[in-house]
Chain A
Amino acid sequence: MTDAVRAHADLVLAEQCRANAPGAFEEVYRAHAPRLFGLACRMVGRPDAEDLLQEIFLTAYRKLGQYRGDSALGTWLFRVGTNVCVDHLRSRHARFAHMADPIDDDPIEAGAQAGAVLGVVDRLDLERALATLPPGCRTVFVLHDVEGLEHKEIASLVGISDGTSKSQLHKARLRLRRALAPTGTQGRT
């Protein structure tokens, strides 16, 4: 399906949602909820993610009138979702606003002595390690490495500079590396 055809389909679907056509908003939900739930789980943790997913879709429903088809509906929803998650983190963590994670005060010994310490990275282990990161660098890691956004997009969504996004990503990766290193190698990372 070409972008133009997809844009047309998205606009029609959005129009149906605005007109409260039966099943239209559920179609939007079914198509996009899994990605947005993944985003919310990783950004704010599972317990809050369920509430946030509802908030994301209610916000999207209220703002559908602003959707003009300039981007895919999924992209627009993702932006709504990210904003909801970032606002939630801001309200929970005063430090998030400045992206001044504790990591800044805790320089990582970046493994000056070690070689590679990671084998195959298990998905569940990575999810668990991700949950232990401070919110600022976790957000950037999720948006960049999991969702594939560019630093410029992240900077715009989160309200930080490109440079901060890059440094937070590097810190997140170093922390994850340390968290995922097998016991006994952690002192070397």
Chain B
Amino acid sequence: MRTCEDIQARLSLLVDGGLSAEDQATVRSHVRGCAACRGMLADLDRLRAAARELGPIAPPDHLWLEVAGQIRQSAPRQMPRGPRRIGRNPLWQWAGLAAAMLLVTFGAYLVRPSAPQDGSAPAASASSPTATTAGASNPAAGGSVETVAQELNMALEHYEKAIGELETMARAGTGTIDPALAATMQKNLSAIDQAIAQSRTALVEQPSSEPARTSLFEALRRKISVLQTTVALMNQMRLGDADGAARLAAGAGKKS
């Protein structure tokens, strides 16, 4: 026979469903015949229910201003992005320049379709705007500032062309995917557009800024990725492949 003390020590676990079936039966059997333990069990239930009702508490309005102010103060010294923490070490600047040139070349390589043998205009593939680029060459081999700038502009043009075509496809397929998903994709695209605009502004102000250039290409790449996912989702939904669409949506969460 368990004492009330033994039983009461287990009442919290009973309330939380943390007792084994056997212990639960023992405790419940005792509680049925003991007013004191039954009363305590009822009180613990009430307390637990009341605690669940304690919701969020709105912070005073001024707190956001203080947080924002402190972030502004700390931002120049402690940016969370990797490239901006690199600082002014010349070695890193050279490494950054090299990385930027690689990125520009790679960007152009990725988005530029193979030099068309028949002289026709290049076109991005529906499912993958990068798929048509395999084997593309990089004709601009010079190392001058002008050459790099030309490469950059060419890469940007190709990104924009691929994005434009994907956007057209995405618009044409509106309505084939779940509205909530479409809304999220749209929100993501708007956010990326904002990042693109900011990077462009930064590049206009500082054309040699490597972080701005990197951010711009990152944002363009993300935009292509989101658009590709959107178009692929639409294709899956058109084919009636809900499982494939779900896999793509899950993949979208991991990719971006």
- Residue-by-residue, is A112-150 near B (CB-CB < 8 Å gives 1, otherwise 0)? 111111101101001100000000000001001110100
A–B pairs, 6, beta carbons within 8 Å: A4-B250, A18-B81, A22-B198, A42-B54, A61-B71, A69-B253
Question: Chain A nearest CB: distance from B59 CB in Å?
Answer: 4
| Complex contact B43–A177 (CB within 8 A) | yes
| Complex contact B50–A123 (CB within 8 A) | yes
B36's partner among A16, A33, A113 (CB-CB below 8 A) is A113
Bound Cα distance A117, B46 (Å): 10
Q: Give A residues with C-beta under 8 Å from B.
A: 1-9, 11-13, 15-22, 24-26, 29-30, 33-35, 37-38, 41-42, 50, 53-54, 57-58, 61-65, 69, 110-118, 120-121, 123, 126-127, 141, 144-146, 148, 151, 166, 169-170, 173, 176-177, 180
Question: Chain B nearest CB: distance from A1 CB in Å?
Answer: 5
Most A C-beta atoms less than 10 A away, residue of B56, B59, B78, B251:
B59
Question: Chain A nearest CB: distance from B221 CB in Å?
Answer: 12
B194's partner among A11, A16, A61, A115 (CB-CB below 8 A) is A16
Question: Chain B nearest CB: distance from A59 CB in Å?
Answer: 11
* A5 and B38 contact, Cβ closer than 8 Å, known pairs A11-B256, A41-B57, A145-B47: no
**Residues of chain A lying within 8 A (CB to CB) of residue B253:** 3-8, 11, 69
* A145 and B58 contact, Cβ closer than 8 Å, known pairs A11-B256, A116-B42: no
Bound Cα distance A3, B180 (Å): 12
| Complex contact B78–A8 (CB within 8 A) | no
| Complex contact A111–B36 (CB within 8 A) | yes
A5's partner among B46, B55, B181 (CB-CB below 8 A) is B181
Asked if B70 CB lies within 8 Å of chain A CBs, one says yes
Question: Chain B nearest CB: distance from A103 CB in Å?
Answer: 14
| Complex contact A61–B80 (CB within 8 A) | yes
| Complex contact B57–A169 (CB within 8 A) | no
B8's partner among A69, A110, A115 (CB-CB below 8 A) is A110
| Complex contact B184–A5 (CB within 8 A) | yes
Dominant secondary structure at the B interface: helix
Pick from B147-155, B185-193, B236-244 the stretch touching chain A.
B185-193
**Residues of chain A lying within 8 A (CB to CB) of residue B5:** 110, 112
| Complex contact A177–B44 (CB within 8 A) | yes
**Residues of chain B lying within 8 A (CB to CB) of residue A112:** 4-5, 8, 36
Q: Give B residues with C-beta under 8 Å from A.
A: 4-5, 8-9, 11-13, 16, 18, 35-36, 38-40, 42-44, 46-60, 63-64, 66-68, 70-71, 74-75, 78-82, 180-181, 184, 187-188, 191-192, 194-195, 198, 215, 222, 246, 249-254, 256
Dominant secondary structure at the A interface: helix
| Complex contact B42–A33 (CB within 8 A) | no
| Complex contact A12–B191 (CB within 8 A) | yes
**Residues of chain A lying within 8 A (CB to CB) of residue B254:** 7, 69
Q: Write the chain A residue with the least CB distance to B8.
A: A110
**Residues of chain B lying within 8 A (CB to CB) of residue A144:** 16
Q: Write the chain A residue with the least CB distance to B198.
A: A21
Bound Cα distance A29, B71 (Å): 12
Question: Chain B nearest CB: distance from A151 CB in Å?
Answer: 8
| Complex contact A37–B58 (CB within 8 A) | yes
Question: Chain B nearest CB: distance from A57 CB in Å?
Answer: 5
**Residues of chain A lying within 8 A (CB to CB) of residue B79:** 20
| Complex contact B12–A34 (CB within 8 A) | no
Question: Chain A nearest CB: distance from B46 CB in Å?
Answer: 5
**Residues of chain A lying within 8 A (CB to CB) of residue B181:** 2, 5
| Complex contact B180–A50 (CB within 8 A) | no
| Complex contact B180–A111 (CB within 8 A) | no
Question: Chain A nearest CB: distance from B80 CB in Å?
Answer: 5
| Complex contact B184–A37 (CB within 8 A) | no
Bound Cα distance A22, B74 (Å): 16
